[in-house]
């Protein structure tokens, strides 16, 4: 299994990060992509990946929540970080008009700049979108054939949005949201519409703990070792084996992020 989205620099992991990585390995997680959400976190991610070379990889970018706080030279910082062999995508970047922690116009500006940077560097995009599909897709549309790959991270959209993403050639990242019997019902219904050759799996840890874990964990903190619960739910929805989900999603991740075979 390859977890394509882990916020491993998050402070909730500070006390047991090494043990968490050990647990992930024991559960069959062969690689993880550590999410960069701003320049400082992207820098931390590359430093962490150096401690676990050929196991941890990273993205480098600015999340829409952090768009208001970028420095004048933040693009140069991301460009510099991208020279590190562990950096496999630009992101997490996109638009979030649900929370609007940054002004929408600034979100669009910073997102557009990172899209152009991904084209310049010929790196995939690791994408965030919430309540902003139309402007998000509009900004991406001119680049659909010029950027190596686009991954719609933590997809929770509707059927029309899924169809547009798939028609555009995007990969679809599925998290523990699909295990939620309350919020995840509409996503569960869409899963069979996602071709296995476009599927990726992720925990988005420490967020989105699968609600199918039994016994229920004492902590609400999600971690990569819980990724098999996402796999099992997907296998149920696809009516295929868990190994089929693992093989397809791992092949996709290795191809898109240029990861070594394990």
Judge whether 54 lies within some domain. yes
Mean pLDDT of 153-176: 98
Judge whether 181 lies within some domain. yes
Q: From CA 227, how far away is CA 251, in angstroms rounded? A: 16
Three-state secondary structure call for residue 130: strand
What pLDDT sits at residue 39?
A: 98
Q: From CA 82, how far away is CA 80, in angstroms rounded? A: 5
Judge whether 68 lies within some domain. yes
Reply yes or no on whether the pLDDT at 253 is more than 90. yes
Mean pLDDT of 183-188: 96
Mean pLDDT of 78-90: 97
What pLDDT sits at residue 99?
A: 86
Q: pTM for the complete prediction?
A: 0.96
Question: Mean pLDDT in the chain?
Answer: 97
Percentage, residues of the chain above pLDDT 90: 98
Judge whether 262 lies within some domain. no
In this prediction, residue 262 has a pLDDT band, given cuts at 50, 70 and 90, of low
Judge whether 207 lies within some domain. yes
Question: Which residue range(s) make up the domain with 80?
Answer: 2-257
Judge whether 158 lies within some domain. yes
Q: Indicate which CATH number applies to the domain containing 106.
A: 3.20.20.140
Name the nearest CA neighbour of 35 among 76, 93, 83, 85: 93
What pLDDT sits at residue 158?
A: 97
165 strand-pairing partners: none
| 44-65 pLDDT tens trace | 999 999 999 999 999 999 999 9
Neighbouring C-beta atoms of residue 149, cutoff 10 Å: 18
Reply yes or no on whether the pLDDT at 93 is more than 70. yes
| 195-204 pLDDT tens trace | 999 999 999 9
What pLDDT sits at residue 236?
A: 98
Judge whether 124 lies within some domain. yes
What pLDDT sits at residue 261?
A: 75
229 contacts: CB under 8 Å, gap ≥ 6? 176, 179, 210, 212, 213
What pLDDT sits at residue 260?
A: 79
Domain count across the chain = 1
| 104-123 pLDDT tens trace | 999 999 999 999 999 999 99
Q: From CA 58, how far away is CA 257, in angstroms rounded? A: 10
Mean pLDDT of 78-97: 97
């Amino acid at each position: 299994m390859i977890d394509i989205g882990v916020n491993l620099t998050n402070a909730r992991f500070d006390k047991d990060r090494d043990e968490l990585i050990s647990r992930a390995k024991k559960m069959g997680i062969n690689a993880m992509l550590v999410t960069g959400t701003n320049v400082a976190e992207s820098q931390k991610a590359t430093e962490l990946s150096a401690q676990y070379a050929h196991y941890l990889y990273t993205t480098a970018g600015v999340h829409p929540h952090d768009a208001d706080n970028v420095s004048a030279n933040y693009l140069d910082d991301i460009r510099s970080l991208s020279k590190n062999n562990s950096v496999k995508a630009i992101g997490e970047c996109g638009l979030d008009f649900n929370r609007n922690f940054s002004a929408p116009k600034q979100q669009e500006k910073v997102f557009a700049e990172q899209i152009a940077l991904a084209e310049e560097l010929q790196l995939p995009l690791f994408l965030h979108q919430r309540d902003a599909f139309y402007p998000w897709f509009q900004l991406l549309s001119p680049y659909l054939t010029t950027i190596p790959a686009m991954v719609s991270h933590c997809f929770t959209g509707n059927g029309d949005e899924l169809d547009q993403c798939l028609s555009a050639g995007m990969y679809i990242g599925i998290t523990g949201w699909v295990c939620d019997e309350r919020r995840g019902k509409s996503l569960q219904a869409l899963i069979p519409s996602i071709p296995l050759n476009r599927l990726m799996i992720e925990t988005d840890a420490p967020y989105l703990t699968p609600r199918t874990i039994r016994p229920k964990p004492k902590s609400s903190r999600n971690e990569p070792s819980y990724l098999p619960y996402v796999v099992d739910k997907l296998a149920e929805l696809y009516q295929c084996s868990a190994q089929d989900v693992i093989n397809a999603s791992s092949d996709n991740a290795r191809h898109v992020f240029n990861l070594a075979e394990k």
